[in-house]
Copies of this chain bind each other. A is one copy, B any other.
Amino acid sequence: MSRPTMNDVARTAGVSLKTVSRVVNGEPTVTPDLAARVRAAVETLDYRPHLGASLLRRNDRRTRMIGVLLEDVSNPFSGVLHRAIEEEAHARGVHVLTGSLGEDERRERELARAFRQRQTDGLIIAPTGSDQTYLSRFTGTPIVFVDRQPSGFLADTVVSTNVAGAAVAVRHLAAHGHRRIAFLGDNQRIPTARERFRGYLQALGHRPGPVVHELRGEAAAERATIALLRRADPPTALFTSQNLITIGAVRALRRLDRHRSVALVGFDDFPLADLLEPAVTVVAQHPARIGRVAAGALFERIDGHDGPPREIRVATTLIARGSGEIFATGN
């Protein structure tokens, strides 16, 4: 025998199907006596309502399920973001479908489509692709972007104050006497990455130091840093615009035994940054806050809010720990 239906419950309780439906859905218009009998039948049959069937017939077509697309659920920034979103959802009795995108544009599109097809009430996306035009067909599904803003499609977006944060980092280095401050960054097609570069340029007036873009991952950042420090005229300080790049740079400085002489400020905090020698100065983002705000915005939209797309900026915080307070040596 298969799973019991409302009909089975009705039969064993000796009531009509509709009465069972009323009890299950907590409608108040049922006599306590009948309600008790229904609940007993539910118990003995181990009845569980079929959410899909209920959804099919309901007017209020909410699945109470949202989709979250992140760069990689195993990286610390995404993890904290994810957790914060999950908490907000949990508080509303909403479940979360999760997907990691890596750098795969196609996977972003496919997962977004697939999640929507599952009738998720809304989507939170940290876009990895360089074009989100495909989302314009997603009518009826609220979308909020986090961490990176979209291209070719407009919706609520929650991101850090990248320009200001990067500028603060670079000015901090300049204040410690540095004149040749290198920029190490990643994919410049991503608006967020461009903003951080802009902050760097802004802070240095128009006298930038050496610049390296398109660094993918720790290893690439380590190699690039080594190359930079072996140049004839090496930088005395580094600004790394992303956490994996920061870690790569730390490894490079260690290998060259320059970690006590070359200053470093990274964008985005990471676990144990405070336990390294020297501890790493960063401009911290607040992924938990970003997640909370993004989830809040999404649920507002789901609940019918219909204003124009908002861009919400979350402030960053400079955390001086040592690596950024190394002074420039004479040159």
Contact = CB atoms under 8 A, between A and B. Distances in A.
Interface of A: 3, 46, 48-53, 55-56, 65, 72-76, 78-80, 82-83, 86-87, 90, 95-100, 114-119, 137, 140, 247, 250-251, 254, 270-272, 275-277
Contact of A118 (B51, B87, B271, B272): B51
Contacts of A277: 276-277
This chain: copies in complex? 2
Nearest to A277: B277
A73 B97 contact: no
B74 A99 contact: no
Contacts of A247: 272, 275
A65 B275 contact: no
| Interface core residue of A65, A73, A98, A137 (most chain B CB under 10 Å) | A73
Contact of A56 (B52, B118, B271): B52
Nearest to A114: B95
A253 to B, nearest CB: 10
Given A52-B119, A119-B52, A276-B276, A98 B114 contact: no
Nearest to A273: B272
A114 B137 CA distance: 31
Nearest to A78: B79
A96 B97 contact: yes
A252 to B, nearest CB: 12
A74 B74 contact: no
A99 B96 contact: yes
A319 to B, nearest CB: 16
Contacts of A49: 117
A244 to B, nearest CB: 10
Contacts of A97: 65, 95-98
B72 A74 contact: no
B75 A79 contact: yes
Contacts of A250: 275
Given A97-B97, A247-B272, A251-B275, A117 B48 contact: yes
Contact of A51 (B73, B80, B90, B117): B117
6 contacts: A48-B116, A49-B117, A72-B83, A76-B271, A275-B276, A277-B277
A128 B181 CA distance: 48
B80 A74 contact: yes
A291 to B, nearest CB: 10
Nearest to A81: B74
A5 to B, nearest CB: 11
A100 B82 CA distance: 10
